[in-house]
């Protein structure tokens, strides 16, 4: 196919504005699927990502379409539609020249619309503004066109109107894709170069990659090498995704294809595939590395299930290139893993799948964000000398005496809210340590606010709180704003003077007293009384910020049994022994294991 007749595009939208439904209609019009209900949300089904109605992974469909008697190849690169996965949206658009900016004609411009629009702008993509759901009686296309004009300076006469549900206007949209979006800009006489935008795992074929070819041609059986390690492999599998695999023997620059190098061939998002002759390895594209926003520990409830849980985690991680897994251990919970996620929703989706896969009890520790510290002198990390250390687990914080500066991750949050909730929303943002950026009107009823917010204040329950204080009418999205210096301290918990490792946390100084008091009070509630009195202290740099005292008490489980029922008595003693196994002992104080997880929950 002539590259002039290739179009690479994505559909970007706020969640529920109709991306998946529109993708179905495009697939129908290009003959990939037959019209009918059993085909609902084909791309989503393909990845079995329907558990929570969210498309998690980027999926591609190469569509054939004839326009003015000429055959075109339209590559629809699907993107996930939730704030947690904005990182993946970013990766998918690196292979695109244009986007369909889909906006619900009822709801109008929402926070995520703003985020995906600015992403498209940053990547110099052609934007096809499209109003969806115009079949609904309450749809108000004129009003939403005015919003698009005031927020994005989009001219009303360039805006298309469709009903993805009814199929209205979809043919016109396909033609706009051909006439408005340019073909890929490629150098076909250069060596073969491609970058990887997605990977997944196949039991028999190993890692399969979704690759965007920047230059040259790619043939089945040809030798290629990875940019990351320069190791050479052979192209074993090559296919178009329509969206089902259609094997091909050759692909040209500008195309988006599935490539596999066999079970030992490897492949990871962001890497590039090059022809063996390619010596100049100039960057093929800047595919942003995955940024993990939330970390949590995962442990087997019983160490005998360690191998089984390990297998389940590995299996899931192979198909989710966005999680990071490293080994972790804790005195209370034993051997486990520290897992990094894109956000809380991602964590939820992953752990739900893990429980389905693993079919046994797993312990998930309270999630935390990554911190960064600058230390005295340089430290050698993976062959590089650096004086900065990323801390994904508060327990691994370097000695505080060596720390020069603390940094925490920040985001730029965008909120679109009806004006009547402005006061409440501003209060929430300031309460979460936010600093306001200029706000602007979307129209008479809606305002757009932007705040710089600490990620730690956002990941836990910001979105839910925002929804509840605005009766569900405000929308929220955030973008990474990097690490910034922040007055943080390490807070330790001592029981009768002995440090409890797993309760160490990193706290903002303005939250210190509140957190110290809350944590000690909750521990007092959660730790059962012991044979000795227990002092619970929250300590920062040797200074006690809160203290609770748990009175002594002797618990004799058999005391209330008199006389002879021996079996009953034995059973009770056994229960008590089993209970003890699930206890962690600090300074002879027995603490139920779940205390460590529950106490840090909000
Ligand atoms: P996504 O989150 O952007 O992928 O949105 P979906 O495609 O899953 O659509 C969200 C909801 O809106 C679903 O219940 C769809 O049936 C509905 N929907 C999508 N497009 C239309 C449309 O054109 N008209 C109407 N009435 N409903 C639509
Ligand atoms: Mg969807």
Query: Over the stretch 125-168, which tens digit does the pLDDT of each residue have?
Result: 999 999 999 999 999 999 999 999 999 999 999 999 999 999 99
* Backbone phi and psi for residue 130, each to the nearest 5 degrees, phi listed first: -140, 125
Taking CA atoms, 134 is separated from 5, 139, 474, in Å, by 30, 5, 22
| Residue 511: exposure state from Cβ atoms within 10 A (0-12, 13-18, ≥19) | middle
Q: pLDDT higher for 321 or 198? A: 198
Q: Which ligand minimizes its atom distance to the CA of 105?
A: 1
Please name the residues in contact with 429: beta carbons below 8 A apart, sequence gap of 6 or more: 413, 415, 436, 449, 451, 453
Task: Answer yes or no: is pLDDT of 557 > 70.
Answer: no
CA distances from 554 to 287, 530, 561, 563 (A): 61, 6, 16, 21
The answer, yes or no, to whether residue 334 has pLDDT greater than 60, is yes
pLDDT at 393 over 60: yes
Cis bond before residue 142 (omega within 30° of 0): no
Annotated binding-site residue? 170: no
Residue 181's pLDDT band, with cuts at 50, 70 and 90, is very high
Helical spans, DSSP H, in 36-169? 42-46, 86-93, 111-122, 141-152
CA-nearest of 577, 112, 94, 584 to 331 is 584
Say which residue, 399 or 59, is predicted with more confidence: 399
Comparing 320 with 298, the larger pLDDT belongs to 298
ipTM: 0.99
CB 198 within 8 A of CB 209: yes
**Residue 50, pLDDT score:** 36
pLDDT of residue 578: 56
Q: Which atom in ligand 1 lies closest to the alpha carbon of residue 23?
A: 7
Distance 164 CA to ligand 1 centre (A): 7
- Render the burial of 374-384: b for 16+ CB within 10 Å, e for the rest: bbeeeeeeeee
* pTM (2 d.p.): 0.81
Q: What's the first-to-final CA gap in the chain, in angstroms?
A: 57
> What gap in Å lies between CA 220 and CA 250, rounded to an integer?
6
Q: Are strands 160-161 and 126-132 parallel, antiparallel or unpaired?
A: parallel
Q: Give the ligand with the smallest distance to the CA of 44.
A: 2
How far is ligand 2, taken at its centre, from the CA of residue 126, in Å? 22
The residues near 30 (Cβ < 8 Å, ≥ 6 apart) are: 63, 64, 65, 74, 174
Ligand nearest to the CA of 14: 1
The finding on whether 165 has its CB within 6 A of some atom of ligand 1 is yes
Whether ligand 1 lies within 6 angstroms of the CB of 26 is answered as no
Tell me the pairing of strands 534-540 and 543-550: antiparallel
How far apart are the C-alpha atoms of 391 and 443, rounded to whole Å?
43
Residue 167 Cβ < 6 Å to ligand 1: no
CA angle 307, 580, 597 (to 5 degrees): 65
Res 400: pLDDT: 86
The minimum-distance atom of ligand 1 relative to the CA of 162 is: 23
Give the residue among 458, 468, 441 at the shortest CA–CA distance from 108: 441
- C-alpha separations of 350 from 307, 321, 322, 343 in Å: 18, 12, 10, 11
> What H or E segment, with its residue span, contains residue 440?
strand 435-441
Are 393 and 503 in contact, with CB atoms under 8 Å apart? Answer: no
φ, ψ at 340 (rounded to 5°): -100, 135
pLDDT above 80: residue 175: yes
Q: Identify which of 115, 113, 140 has the alpha carbon closest to the alpha carbon of residue 129.
A: 113
pLDDT of residue 485: 97
Q: Are 163 and 135 in contact (CB under 8 A)?
A: yes
Give the pair of three-digit tokens for residue 34: 């037959």
Spatial distance between the Cα atoms of 284 and 48, rounded to a whole number of angstroms: 31
């Amino acid at each position: 196919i002539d590259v002039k007749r290739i179009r690479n595009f994505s559909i970007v939208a706020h969640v529920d504005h109709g991306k998946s439904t529109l993708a179905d209609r495009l697939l129908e019009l290009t003959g990939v699927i037959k019209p009918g209900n059993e085909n609902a949300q084909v791309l989503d089904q393909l990845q079995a990502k329907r558990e929570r109605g969210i498309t998690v992974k980027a999926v591609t469909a190469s569509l054939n379409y004839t326009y003015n008697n000429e055959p075109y190849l339209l590559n629809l690169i699907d993107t996930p539609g939730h704030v947690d996965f904005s990182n993946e949206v970013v990766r998918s658009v690196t292979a695109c020249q244009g986007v369909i900016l889909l906006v619900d004609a009822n709801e109008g411009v929402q926070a995520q619309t703003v985020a995906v629009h600015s992403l498209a702008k940053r990547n110099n993509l052609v934007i096809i503004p499209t109003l969806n759901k115009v079949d609904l009686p309450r749809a108000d296309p004129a009003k939403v066109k005015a919003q698009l004009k005031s927020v994005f300076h989009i001219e009303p006469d360039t805006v298309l109107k469709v009903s993805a549900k009814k199929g209205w206007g979809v043919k016109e949209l396909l033609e706009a894709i051909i006439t408005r979006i340019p073909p890929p800009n490629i150098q076909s006489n250069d060596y073969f170069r491609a970058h990887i935008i997605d990977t997944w795992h196949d039991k028999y074929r190993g890692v399969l990659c979704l690759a965007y070819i920047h230059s040259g041609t790619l043939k089945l059986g040809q030798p290629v090498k990875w940019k990351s390690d320069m190791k050479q492999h052979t192209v074993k599998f090559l296919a178009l995704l329509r969206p089902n695999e259609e094997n091909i023997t050759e692909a040209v620059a500008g195309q988006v294809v599935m490539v596999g190098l066999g079970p030992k061939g490897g492949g990871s998002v962001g890497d590039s595939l090059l022809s063996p002759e390619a010596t100049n390895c100039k960057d093929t594209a800047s595919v942003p590395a995955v940024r993990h926003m939330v970390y949590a520990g995962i442990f087997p409830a019983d160490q005998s299930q360690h191998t089984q849980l390990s297998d389940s985690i590995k299996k899931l991680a192979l198909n989710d290139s966005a999680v990071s897994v490293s080994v972790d251990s804790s005195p209370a919970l034993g051997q486990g893993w520290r897992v990094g996620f894109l956000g809380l929703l991602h964590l939820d989706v992953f752990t739900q799948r893990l429980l389905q896969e693993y079919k046994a009890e797993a312990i998930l520790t309270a999630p935390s964000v990554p911190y960064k510290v600058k230390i005295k002198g340089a430290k050698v990390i993976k062959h590089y000398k650096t004086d900065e250390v990323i801390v994904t687990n508060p327990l691994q914080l370097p000695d505080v005496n060596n720390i020069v500066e603390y940094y925490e991750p920040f985001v730029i949050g965008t909120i679109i809210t009806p004006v009547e909730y402005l006061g409440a929303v501003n209060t929430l943002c300031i309460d979460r340590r936010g600093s306001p950026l200029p706000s602007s009107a979307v129209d008479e009823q809606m305002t757009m606010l932007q705040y710089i917010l600490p990620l730690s204040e956002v990941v836990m329950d910001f979105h839910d709180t925002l929804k509840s204080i605005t009766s569900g009418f405000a929308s929220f999205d955030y973008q990474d704003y990097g690490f910034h210096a922040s007055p943080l301290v390490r807070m330790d918990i001592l029981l009768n003077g002995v440090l409890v490792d797993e309760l160490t946390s990193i706290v903002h100084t303005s939250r210190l007293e509140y957190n110290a008091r809350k944590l000690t009070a909750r521990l007092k509630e959660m730790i059962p009384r012991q044979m000795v009195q227990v002092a619970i202290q929250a300590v920062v740099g040797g200074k006690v910020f809160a203290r609770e005292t748990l009175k002594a008490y002797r618990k004799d489980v058999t005391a209330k049994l008199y006389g002879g029922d021996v079996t009953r008595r034995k059973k009770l003693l056994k229960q008590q022994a089993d209970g003890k196994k699930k206890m962690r002992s600090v300074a002879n104080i027995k603490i139920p294991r779940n205390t460590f997880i529950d106490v840090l929950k909000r």
